[in-house]
Chain A
Amino acid sequence: MTEQVESLIRKDYAAGFHSKIESDTLAPGLDEDVVRFISAKKEEPQWMLDWRLKAFRAWQEMEEPTWAHVHYPEIDFKALSYYSAPKSMADKPQSLDEVDPELLATYEKLGIPLHEQATLAGVAVDAVFDSVSVVTTYRAKLEEAGVIFCPISEAIKRFPELVKKYLGSVVPQKDNFYAALNSAVFSDGSFVYIPKGVRCPMELSTYFRINEMNTGQFERTLIVAEEGSYVSYLEGCTAPMRDENQLHAAVVELVALDDAQIKYSTVQNWYPGDKEGKGGIYNFVTKRGICHRNARISWTQVETGSAVTWKYPSCILKGDNSVGEFYSVALTNNFQQADTGTKMIHLGKNTRSTIIAKGISAGRSNSAYRGLVRINAGASGARNFTQCDSLLIGDRCGAHTFPYIESKNPSAVIEHEATTSKVSDDQMFLCQQRGLDAEKAVSMIVNGFCREVFKELPMEFAVEAGKLLEVSLEGSVG
């Protein structure tokens, strides 16, 4: 089952094209002037600039983290360009009709239609192209419900009080190396505000696309769910195929106030590099949410892209009875490396968290689960269940598990389980003697392995995720 499988393995990265869009790109380099430039370009108020500069100064003092189980050549932060925008955005289009048709075509190609009439029923999209948000659909309908869904650059101008109050409240500027960098140079991203008691009438979605060469993408997402509200948010990402590595360092902050619920789903499909491990995106992301009383945050992620992933979507369970969930499928193939997991910080009483992490390694890739469950002294009655399973496909790959468990409360109950194995010969045999070919059999077994996570995804995404997995695994059966 080797050669025939080998040949089946690789379906090319379908999103790897590059669109010829004239863009306005800042020369490479990083100093305070770059931060000022970005801030000026976005016509930001003084307080925002000060906030960025404070982050930048902190960043200069910080050291790049090296504890993750990933290896990559040192990044020259001075060689990157920190801002790139499609030229046609200089005068911001007022409506969809004014958007550069080339841009619309790009998203069309990716299967993300930005025409409202053609959109997946009931999903509002914010499209971020390189450093700017190009279009947000269904805004009028959302505004009726009182929901704010707009680029964060716009929110800084239109809703300064809200942004001031919550920006950096979950991921402070100095939180870590990449978060500090992001705080200094972030260019755009999405802002979501759900008023008290409102159930957001449709799924919200942001679609990220890196297009220009030598640029880093630094987006910032802030979601605030007021008391008793509900929102489901989806995020997707792609980039062209290039030989050099590109940096993506995003920050996502979620605030779930009392009784609120936020569901955050990601299908990450940044360019993973080619079969020899050349190129690909470095995905260094900080995602964190804070749960107030009775609130619930669930992170669901399907990670198939990026050359190197460094990502730990976390929950701070501050309020009593709050709930944090983390469902993840991380698939690595060829030379990809992923170090991903979550942190569940239990502060409030009777807080609960569930972690289901599935790692699949194929080719010469390495994937690691790294998680922290911390029960503070005040979190009586806290409960955690963690399950992380790894599946190995091929004998040159690696799967690793590094769970940290810290408990300071005797009434807390923590359970952690991890297993690692390969697709068993028995399972393969059973499928094959029923007439499935090797490829189909593996795909079926892998899909079954990931089912617990896929069922947490919104329907459209679940289908996409299943397909993505199939594509990413093609030819890795052996």
Chain B
Amino acid sequence: MSETSPQDFKHLALSLAGAQDSAPWLDSLRFTGTEQWLEAQWPGRRTELWKYTPLASLQRGQFASWGSAQAYTLAEHALLSLDAIRLVFVNGQFDAQASAGDVAGVVRFSKADAAQQALIEARLGKIVDTKRHLFASLSNAWTQDGVLVHVPKNTKLELPIYIVHVSTPEATPATANHRVLVVLEESAQAEIIEHFISDEQAQNGFVNSLTEIQVGANAHLSHYRMNLEEEHIIHIGGVHINLASNAQYLGFTLSEGSQLKRIDYQICHKGKGAHAGLNGVYLPRNEHLLDYHTNVEHEAPHCTTSEVFRGIIADSARAVFNGRIHIHPDAQKTLAELSNKNLLTSDKAEVDTKPELEIYADDVKCAHGATVSQLDQTSMFYLRSRGLCEKQARTMLSFGFINELLQDLPQQAVREHLHRHLTQLFDKDHFAS
């Protein structure tokens, strides 16, 4: 397959935008997105944000059409079993049959009433930082449909919002654009679970996903985002969060690898006393390339951030992690911590990690740590001495390495689902060889 030039890819992407039939009130966002996408410099090895992540496989992909609502069969237990408001999308198209439940404030862009349209217009594309996230411009240019979760002041959503994105292969490689906008007003509370999944066939699609979140003053959001698609998919995703004063955001993300997967998280502390917690797990194997970039902007004083990412890299896979914490000049009394630990389980696996601190205020406490190693020999010896075979011991220790982050998840359905899913995955030998 020949490689398309960056220019060709850019234009191909825009021709897809031209093929969309979108509502006029989204035009200005689409237009700005198009302009930024055209102007943006295509990332190469010298682009710091893409230093370790080549986009060659994306350029090769020839994604010339939009995904369509195909019939699909998911494996048993592929979805979470929980009582929730469920919205299911197949290759970017809404699947009404599989979706269930309804609550005021949760609506697709295409069904939004006038007030909701105004809200979307005011917020959509305004939270995301397109400078640090190139593909957000493309997502803006591609905006057609999406999910709005709007929780009014002093309201708590009783049921979690469960958004499922299913990918299936198509005759020619196709594209899906996923967009979520979450607006929590003052003292609102909600729980949102985003679940990316595919059927079991080899995938050939490209998914561009973007979630924008505004957490109002004193509001509280729990947010889960799982990328569990089959390995040939290309997924570029972004989650951008703005926190008002005393807002709380608790995020968890877990990704299995694929030929190219890049996820950006950006958290901005805009108001005093906000707290962000973000935990993540990445598990690339085979020939996967999995890249997490996180960026926390402390713009206001008295805010706290705690971020923990763990990865196990198997086979010939490559993981990239970049965690930046930026303390602005007036963000005094900030507490920020970042930890990134990696296990390499094969001679050909590679990890490139870069935790960054950029600090312009003095009365702060910031720390980051990163480690790369293999399983601890003393622990191995201990388990072997108790009669476990080498493989069992390895599986147990590898699983334990990430289980620290899983076992504390407040949402039982997610916890149980991941536990079952990962046990199967670890049994396949990748992470314990």
Q: Which residues of A are interface residues toward B (Cβ below 8 A)?
A: 67, 375, 377, 390, 392-422
Chain A residues with CB under 8 Å of B356's CB are 400-403
- How far, in whole Å, are A410 and B362 apart by their CA atoms in the complex? 38
**5 pairs of A and B residues whose beta carbons are closest in the complex:** A410-B344, A392-B362, A401-B357, A414-B372, A413-B373
B358 part of interface (Cβ distance < 8 Å):
yes
Provide the residues of chain B in CB contact with A390, threshold 8 Å.
357, 359
Interface contact B371-A418, CB-CB below 8 Å? no
User: Is there contact, CB below 8 Å, between B368 and A418?
Assistant: yes
Partner of B364, one of A394, A407, A422: A422
Can you list 19 A-B contacts (CB < 8 A)?
A: A375-B372, A390-B357, A390-B359, A393-B362, A395-B329, A395-B361, A397-B360, A400-B358, A400-B359, A405-B351, A406-B352, A407-B351, A407-B372, A408-B349, A410-B345, A414-B370, A416-B370, A420-B357, A421-B366
Closest chain A residue, CB of each to CB of B352: A406
- For B347, what are the chain A residues with a Cβ–Cβ distance below 8 Å? 377, 409-410
Contact of A421 among B360, B364, B373, B374 (CB under 8 A): B364
Contacts between chains A and B (CB distance < 8 A), count: 111
When the two chains form their complex, are residues B349 and A410 in contact, meaning their CB atoms are under 8 A apart? yes
B346 touches A416 (CB 8 A): no
Which listed residue (A394, A395, A412, A420) contacts B332, Cβ 8 A?
A395
Is B351 a contact partner of A401 (Cβ separation < 8 A)?
no
Return chain B residues, CB-CB under 8 Å to A419: 365-367
Beta-carbon nearest neighbor of B342 in chain A? A407
Flag if A395 contacts B362 (CB, 8 Å).
Answer: yes
Taken together as a complex, chains A and B put the C-alpha atoms of A67 and B367 apart, in Å, by 23
Taking a contact as CB atoms closer than 8 A, the residue among A404, A412, A416 that contacts B369 in the complex is A416
* Assembled-state Cα–Cα distance A393/B361 (Å): 10
Closest partner residue, chain A, to B326 (CB atom): A400
Contacts of B349 in A (CB 8 A): 408, 410
Bound complex: CA of A305 vs CA of B417, how far in Å? 58
Residues of B within 8 Å of A418, CB to CB, are 355, 357, 367-369
- CB neighbours (8 Å) of A377 from chain B are 347-348
**B329:A396 contact, CB within 8 angstroms:** yes
In the complex, chain A residues whose CB is within 8 Å of the CB of B370: 403, 405, 414-416
* Bound CA span A399–B357, Å: 8
Q: Do A412 and B373 touch (CB < 8 A)?
A: yes
Is A420 in contact with B372, judged by CB distance below 8 angstroms? no
Nearest to A395 among chain B residues (CB) is B362
Which B residues form the contact surface with A (CB < 8 A)? 48, 329, 332, 342, 344-374
Question: In the complex the two chains form, is A395's CB within 8 Å of B363's CB?
Answer: yes
A396 to B365, CA, bound (A): 16
- Residue of A396, A398, A411, A415 near B374 (CB, 8 A) is A411
Whether A410 lies near B374 (C-beta < 8 A) is yes
Contact yes or no, A405 B354, CB < 8 A: yes
Q: How far is the CB of B342 from chain A (nearest CB, A)?
A: 8
If A401-B368, A422-B362 are given as contacts, then 14 extra A-B residue pairs at C-beta distance below 8 Å, sorted by A number, are A377-B347, A392-B359, A392-B361, A392-B364, A393-B362, A400-B357, A400-B359, A410-B344, A413-B373, A414-B373, A415-B369, A416-B371, A418-B369, A422-B364
Nearest-CB residue, chain A, relative to B338: A418
- Tell me how far the C-beta of A257 lies from the nearest C-beta in chain B, rounded to whole angstroms: 30
Compute how far the CA of A413 lies from the CA of B351 in the bound complex, rounded to whole angstroms. 12
Q: How far is the CA of A341 from the CA of B309 in the complex (A)?
A: 25
Given A407-B344, A420-B366, check contact A415 B371 (CB 8 Å): yes
Q: Which residues of A sit under 8 angstroms from B367, Cβ to Cβ? A: 417-420
Known: A67-B48, A392-B362, A398-B359. A417 touches B369 (CB 8 A): yes
- A residues near B359, Cβ cutoff 8 Å: 390, 392, 398-400, 420
Cα-based distance from A269 to B371 in the complex (angstroms): 35
Residue of B nearest to A69 (CB): B358
Q: Which residue of A lies closest to B358 (CB)?
A: A400
Give min CB distance, B134 to chain A, whole Å.
Answer: 18
Q: Is the CB of B354 within 8 A of A394?
A: no
Identify the closest chain B residue to A394 (Cβ): B362
Report the Cα distance A416→B339, complex, angstroms.
10
* Chain A residues, Cβ within 8 Å of B373: 412-414
What's the minimum C-beta distance from A420 to chain B, rounded to whole angstroms? Answer: 4
Q: With the chains together, A89 CA to B288 CA distance in Å?
A: 64
* Chain B residues with CB below 8 A from A417, complex form: 367-369
Residue from A394, A401, A402 with most neighbouring chain B CB atoms (10 Å): A401
The distance from the CB of A304 to the nearest CB of chain B, in whole angstroms, is 20
Minimum CB–CB distance for B380 against chain A, Å: 13
B393 to chain A, nearest CB (A): 16
Q: A406-B352, A420-B364 are in contact. Are A398 and B344 (CB under 8 A)?
A: no
The interface residues of chain A lying within 8 Å CB-to-CB of B329 are: 395-396
Residues of A within 8 A of B358 (CB): 398, 400-401
B362 touches which of A397, A400, A412 (Cβ 8 Å) = A397
Interface centre among B48, B332, B358 (most CB of A within 10 A): B358
- Nearest A residue to B370 by beta-carbon distance? A416
The closest CB in chain A to the CB of B346 belongs to A410
Closest CB-CB distance, A159 to chain B, in whole Å? 40
Residues of B within 8 A of A399 (CB): 357, 359
